[in-house]
């Protein structure tokens, strides 16, 4: 029997008969496995990120949830196949918990399961693990890149020296298959660390109360690049993100109005995206700001809908014109019926409130087709196009008319 050099398969189940049965299934396709009926003994095994863990949630000593918590705390992140005799909602929730800890759950299996389903799943999972392992071995390390954290002093300098860049990601109308607009996405061209994505510096700005200054820079850059798009003959809407600190700045509506007026841009062409969690503090101030922005002609989109708190209350209170469904649900909707149901309800809710729906995270034709059948209005994601610099965006639009 051949031994897999790239990844191990661990079977963790307190039922010795069940563990032996799964091991026998794996042996039929020449897969070596190690079985554990004790969670304590399993946690002492030399587990790596390339391994596959077939984990029964109901274990003595430490259950499957505790096992995943233990591995996550040690930064050991293998590929999990969760198995349980509980109802499927428990498995589904356990998977969400694992993903919240940045653990990768390949699939879940409800007991009893068919041998052919189990064999097909571990074959596919090991093939993916081997491919990932080989890619990592063949990919040179990028020391000094975006994995390194930047400092607040570097970010302040970046704003002063205008090191931030604007990228456009197209938004396409489902009904007409035509360009509806584009979301403005920010990048930081760090002189030493290379191109940094927002997750590497936005939290830093929020922590140090720098978001208003950063947003002013982003707005000015956005308008500057947007004028190039207009000059190329493309009159489209652009979506710009605002943070929690922005929607507590009572002068924001006037600042933004002055900026677009001085550049002869119609505020109707600007969609301001606000994350619903940004509306939790100082509700009266945020509603003051949002209403004045709407009265000045700006459109408002509630971003990452469904992931924050009191979503329905925010929809009821604030004058939003657009509902942007969080990519978490969109990406899972292709294979997760619960996620698909949530997306469907969001679309119906938006229709009832006379709002447009935007789906971000559209990465496959399958997701596109599902959203189109549900009546979603606008799609955004890598299936259409990745974020692009201004010149590349203009060329992309012209070549895809």
pLDDT of amino acid 147: 46
- Categorise residue 233: left if φ over 0, alpha if ψ from -120 to 50, beta otherwise: left
Per-position DSSP letters for 217-282, written without gaps between them: HHHHHHHHHHHHHHHTT---EEEEEE-TTGGG-TTHHHHHHHHHHHTT--GGGEEEEEEGGGGSSS
Residues 213-259 have pLDDT tens digits of 999 999 999 999 999 999 999 989 999 998 878 878 888 899 999 99
Token pair in block for residue 164:
């931030």
Widest pairwise Cα distance in the chain: 75
- Residue 37's pLDDT band (boundaries 50, 70, 90)? very high
Token pair in block for residue 148:
């390194």
Token pair in block for residue 394:
């203009």
Q: b vs e for 51-84, b when ≥16 Cβ sit within 10 Å of the residue's Cβ?
A: bbbbbbbbbeebbbbebbbebbeeebbbbbbbbb
205, 173, 229: which is closest to 395 by C-alpha?
229
The distance from CA 218 to its chain's CA centroid, rounded to whole angstroms, is 22
- Residue 146's pLDDT band (boundaries 50, 70, 90)? very low
Q: How far apart are CA 161 and CA 191, in angstroms?
A: 11
Q: What does residue 81 show for φ and ψ, rounded to 5 degrees?
A: -120, 110
Give the three-class secondary structure for 132.
Answer: helix
Residues 150-197 have pLDDT tens digits of 889 999 999 999 999 999 999 999 999 999 999 999 999 998 888 999
For residues 380 and 338, the model is more confident at 380
Say whether pLDDT at 135 is over 50. Answer: yes
Helices (H), 267-334: 283-295, 311-317, 327-332
Domains and CATH numbers, the chain: 9-138 (3.40.50.2300), 152-399 (3.20.20.450)
CA angle 392, 396, 401 (to 5 degrees): 155
162, 128, 155: which is closest to 50 by C-alpha?
128
Residues 339-388 have pLDDT tens digits of 899 999 999 999 999 999 999 999 999 999 999 999 999 999 999 999 99
Q: What does residue 93 show for φ and ψ, rounded to 5 degrees?
A: -70, -40
Q: Are the beta carbons of 347 and 375 closer than 8 angstroms? A: yes
Q: How far apart are CA 171 and CA 182, in angstroms?
A: 5
pLDDT of amino acid 282: 61
């Amino acid at each position: 029997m051949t031994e897999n050099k790239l990844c191990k398969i661990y079977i963790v189940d307190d039922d010795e008969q069940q563990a032996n049965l799964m091991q026998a299934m794996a042996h039929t396709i020449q897969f070596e496995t190690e079985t554990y009926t004790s969670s304590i003994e399993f946690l002492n095994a030399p587990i790596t990120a390339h391994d596959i863990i077939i984990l029964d949630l109901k274990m003595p000593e430490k259950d499957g949830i505790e096992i995943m918590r233990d591995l996550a705390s040690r930064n050991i992140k293998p590929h999990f196949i969760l198995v349980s005799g509980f109802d499927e909602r428990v498995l589904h929730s356990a998977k969400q918990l694992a993903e919240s800890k940045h653990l990768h759950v390949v699939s879940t299996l409800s007991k009893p399961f068919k041998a052919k389903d189990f064999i097909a799943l571990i074959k596919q999972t090991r093939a993916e693990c081997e491919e990932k392992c080989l890619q990592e071995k063949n990919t040179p390390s990028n020391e000094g890149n975006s994995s390194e954290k930047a400092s607040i002093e570097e970010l302040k300098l970046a704003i002063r020296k205008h090191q931030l860049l604007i990228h456009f990601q197209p938004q396409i109308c489902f009904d007409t298959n035509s360009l509806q607009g584009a979301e403005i996405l920010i990048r930081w061209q760090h002189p030493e660390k290379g191109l940094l994505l927002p997750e590497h510096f936005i939290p830093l700005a929020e922590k140090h109360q720098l978001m208003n200054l950063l947003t002013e820079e982003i707005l000015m850059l956005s308008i500057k690049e947007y004028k190039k798009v207009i000059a190329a003959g493309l009159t489209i809407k652009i979506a710009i993100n605002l943070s929690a600190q922005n929607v507590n700045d009572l002068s924001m509506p006037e600042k933004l109005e002055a900026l677009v007026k001085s550049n002869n841009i119609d505020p109707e062409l600007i969609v301001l995206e606000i994350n619903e969690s940004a509306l939790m503090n100082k509700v009266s101030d945020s509603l003051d700001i949002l209403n004045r922005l709407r009265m000045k002609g700006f459109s408002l989109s509630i971003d990452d809908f469904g992931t924050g708190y009191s979503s329905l209350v925010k929809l009821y209170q604030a004058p939003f014109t657009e509902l942007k469904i969080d990519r978490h649900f969109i990406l899972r909707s292709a294979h997760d019926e619960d996620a698909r149901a949530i997306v469907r309800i969001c679309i119906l809710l938006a229709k009832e409130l006379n709002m447009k729906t935007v789906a971000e995270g559209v990465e496959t034709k399958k997701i596109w087709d599902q959203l189109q059948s549900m009546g979603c209005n606008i799609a955004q994601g890598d299936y259409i196009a990745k974020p692009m610099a201004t010149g590349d965006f203009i060329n992309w639009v012209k070549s895809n008319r």
